[in-house]
């Protein structure tokens, strides 16, 4: 398979992996927030009843979890493509 075809073929797979990563990251975040804050729902930025510290802590935790899951899924997809085609996606 040529490098260009492999790269083109990986794009839809990458999109699907990204959607799956977002879903997994959301589930992990909900569990992590429940475990750390003892509250079922994380605060939104416009939640009037929550303080700045709690809102920013929730956002930081969510961002960190999403970044780690996304990197793991992207890396796994790239490794899988290399095993299948012999080419690393760029």
Nearest to 42 by CA among 24, 55, 27: 55
pTM for the model: 0.82
For residues 71 and 18, give the distance between their C-alpha atoms in angstroms, rounded to a whole number.
10
Query: pLDDT, tens digit, for every residue of 5-37?
Result: 566 777 888 899 999 999 999 999 999 999 988
* Token pair recorded at residue 89: 């996606």
CB 66 within 8 A of CB 20: no
Mean pLDDT along residues 32-59: 90
Could you say which DSSP state residue 86 is in?
S
């Amino acid at each position: 398979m040529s490098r260009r075809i492999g790269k083109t073929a990986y794009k839809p797979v990458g999109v699907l992996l990204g959607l799956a990563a977002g879903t997994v990251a959301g589930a992990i975040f909900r569990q992590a927030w429940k475990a750390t804050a003892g509250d079922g729902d994380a605060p939104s930025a416009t939640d009037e009843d929550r303080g700045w510290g709690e809102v920013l802590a929730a956002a930081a935790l969510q961002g960190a979890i999403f970044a780690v899951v996304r990197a793991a899924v992207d890396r796994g997809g790239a490794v899988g493509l290399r095993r299948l085609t012999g080419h690393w996606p760029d």
